[in-house]
């Protein structure tokens, strides 16, 4: 086995392979156990395997560790990882901690190195730290050091916030659903610390992918103004679903703190029953006039904030072009737009055969319409045939699937590091 020193921060996200070179998954963290007056013992790796499941790989089944990849024996227990008392996740729980060196210098842990001893045991041997200065001189460069673990003094009780900067860096490449899962796997205190340092839009992305119970639990630990800012960044239909589950007083408090435009959209959605097209729809569709060109439509679709389902089509109406619009005229499908010259008007390629659903249609009817027309999104109109929103297929699936569908693939039993 390789005995080179490897920093955990560089190991995160690296591939894990079997002896034949087939990829098993990727490293998400390293699990250690603290020991009295000696270096922590590495007990294994937390590895994400296909299906977004995180499992435990005992260090005894790892044949080589490098900053580029990890090689295992190929024997992986796919029971879901569950952390036990006494085990410490290096990325999630150690990095960012304030500490002191033997000479009382105050530092913050930025990374940690693991290496194999001559006896074959993997240990956490050194830490990369940032020196905390009470007085910062102008143009002074940050001071960093690599020190032995035995020279580090961790606080018995954490009296100041643990920096989440390094851990957040490992989350940058995660899709919203994976980000939500990664956050929920952290100890609750650490999760709230990480979310406190994340941007509002990333917190919003994660909340949209959580169950209602998890959303409410986290929202209760976010200051009201920050919670309102996060709701501003959520899709209006997701924000409406979340605030509708709050007590009346809390709901009104958060709505009053939201931006006027976002608040108005959420309040409008709250007026519809949750199992109707109005309760499922998003008012944020791409809406243009029939005189607009295909080039204009494609430019709207290219916007980064537009979801793939919502970018599948442009909805053409009479003015005004914000929901509720003027009379709904038809749909210009993205794929069809690509077959026409950019200067062509949208009115020349409208699909008039797709019937929009009424705002009071139930979820089952919306699902039937989506399936009948092979659509990923369908327009919603009111009694005056004005476009009031669009229901996407993911909104319908979220409503029709059981509440615990995100965890349906998990085993009833879980796997822990120390017991492997």
Here the CATH number for the domain that contains residue 249 is 1.25.60.10
In a domain, 418, yes or no: no
Q: What is residue 202's predicted lDDT score, i.e. its pLDDT?
A: 92
For 44: left if phi > 0, alpha if psi spans -120 to 50, otherwise beta; the answer is: left
In a domain, 358, yes or no: yes
Total domains in the chain come to 4
Q: What is residue 415's predicted lDDT score, i.e. its pLDDT?
A: 45
φ/ψ of residue 301, rounded to 5:
-65, -30
Q: Give the CATH number of the domain where residue 386 resides.
A: 3.10.580.10
Tokens coding 382: 């009111």
Q: What is residue 163's predicted lDDT score, i.e. its pLDDT?
A: 66
Q: What is residue 159's predicted lDDT score, i.e. its pLDDT?
A: 46
Task: Decide: 201 and 233 in contact? Cβ < 8 Å.
Answer: yes
- Asked which of 88, 110, 132 is the last residue of a domain, the reply is 88
Q: What is residue 251's predicted lDDT score, i.e. its pLDDT?
A: 94
Burial group, residue 366, by CB count within 10 angstroms (0-12, 13-18, 19+): buried
φ/ψ of residue 99, rounded to 5:
-155, 180
Same domain, 195 and 100: no
Domain containing 35 equals 6-88
Residues in the chain with pLDDT < 70? 1-3, 67, 134-140, 156-164, 166, 402-420
- Asked which of 271, 300, 335 is the last residue of a domain, the reply is 271
Contacts for 28-31: CB closer than 8 Å, 24+ residues apart: 28/54, 28/91, 28/170, 28/182, 29/89, 29/90, 29/91, 29/92, 30/89, 30/90, 30/91, 30/114, 31/56, 31/83, 31/87, 31/88, 31/89, 31/90, 31/417
In a domain, 1, yes or no: no
Tokens coding 417: 């590091």
In a domain, 405, yes or no: no
Tokens coding 250: 């809390």
Q: How far apart are the first and last CA of the chain?
A: 20
């Amino acid at each position: 086995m390789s005995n080179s020193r490897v920093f955990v921060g560089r190991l995160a996200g690296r591939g894990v392979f079997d002896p034949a070179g087939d990829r098993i998954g990727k490293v998400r963290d390293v699990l250690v156990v603290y020991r009295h007056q000696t270096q922590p013992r590495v007990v294994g790796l937390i590895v994400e395997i296909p299906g977004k499941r995180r499992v435990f790989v005992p260090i005894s089944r790892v044949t080589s560790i490098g900053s580029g990849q990890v090689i295992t024996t190929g024997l992986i227990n796919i029971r879901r990882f569950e952390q036990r008392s006494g085990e410490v996740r290096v990325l999630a729980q150690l990095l960012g901690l304030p500490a002191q060196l033997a000479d009382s210098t105050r530092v913050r842990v930025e990374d940690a190195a693991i290496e194999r001893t001559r006896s074959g045991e993997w240990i956490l041997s050194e830490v990369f730290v940032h020196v905390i200065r009470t007085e910062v001189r102008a143009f002074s460069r940050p001071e960093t050091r690599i020190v032995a673990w035995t020279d580090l003094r961790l606080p018995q009780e954490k009296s100041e916030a643990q920096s989440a900067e390094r851990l957040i860096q490992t989350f940058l490449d995660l899709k919203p659903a994976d980000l939500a899962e990664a956050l929920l796997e952290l100890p609750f205190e650490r999760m709230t610390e990480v979310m406190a340092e994340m941007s509002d839009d990333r917190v919003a992305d994660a909340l949209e992918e959580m169950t209602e119970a998890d959303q409410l639990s986290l929202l209760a630990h976010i200051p009201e103004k920050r919670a309102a800012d996060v709701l501003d960044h959520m899709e209006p239909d997701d924000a409406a679903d979340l605030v509708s589950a709050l007590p009346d007083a809390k709901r009104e408090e958060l709505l009053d703190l939201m931006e006027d435009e976002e608040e108005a959209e959420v309040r409008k959605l709250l007026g519809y029953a949750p199992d109707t097209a109005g309760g499922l729809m998003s008012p944020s569709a791409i809406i243009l006039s029939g005189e607009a060109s295909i080039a204009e439509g494609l430019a709207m679709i290219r916007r980064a904030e537009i979801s793939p389902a919502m970018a599948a089509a442009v909805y053409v109406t009479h003015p005004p072009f914000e929901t509720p619009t003027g009379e709904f005229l038809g749909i210009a499908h993205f794929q069809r737009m690509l077959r026409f010259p950019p200067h062509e008007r949208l009115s020349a390629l409208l699909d008039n055969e797709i019937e929009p659903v009424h705002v009071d249609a139930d979820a089952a009817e919306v699902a039937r319409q989506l399936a009948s027309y092979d659509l990923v999104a369908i327009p919603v109109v009111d009694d005056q045939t004005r476009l009031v929103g669009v229901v996407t297929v993911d909104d319908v699936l979220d409503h029709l699937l059981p509440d615990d569908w995100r965890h349906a693939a998990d085993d009833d039993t879980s796997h822990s590091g120390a017991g492997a």
